[in-house]
């Protein structure tokens, strides 16, 4: 693990969550209004893309710290 990059850590966590869910017989879950199928690959996006997608912010507006702070207000 000492030489893993964050992609490998994400792979490990996804496999761990899937293993536990499988042992518990809970591969399909409901979280609020969302249906989660843990048998499928997890969606992976950058933090910038997550802020744009979930927060409704234009990614072009996230170019530096000042513009990020302005979007946060």
Q: What is the DSSP letter of 37?
A: E
Cα 18 from chain centroid (whole Å): 15
Provide the sign of the torsion angle of the four alpha carbons 70, 52, 35, 41, taken in this order.
negative
> Could you tell me which of 70, 72, 10 has the C-alpha nearest to residue 41?
10
Write out the E strands in the chain.
Answer: 28-31, 34-37
Tens digits of residue pLDDT in 15-36: 999 999 999 999 999 999 999 9
Name the one residue in this structure whose structure tokens are 């979280």: 31
> What pLDDT is attached to residue 50?
87
Confidence of residue 60 (pLDDT cuts 50, 70, 90): confident
- Report whether 44 contacts 53 (CB < 8 A): no
> What pLDDT is attached to residue 14?
95
């Amino acid at each position: 693990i000492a030489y893993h990059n964050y992609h490998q850590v994400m792979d490990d966590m996804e496999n761990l969550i899937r293993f536990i869910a499988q042992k518990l017989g809970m591969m399909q879950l409901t979280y609020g209004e969302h249906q989660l199928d843990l048998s499928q690959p997890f969606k992976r996006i950058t933090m910038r893309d997550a802020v744009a997608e979930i927060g409704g912010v234009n990614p072009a507006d996230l170019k530096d710290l000042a513009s990020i702070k302005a979007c946060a207000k």
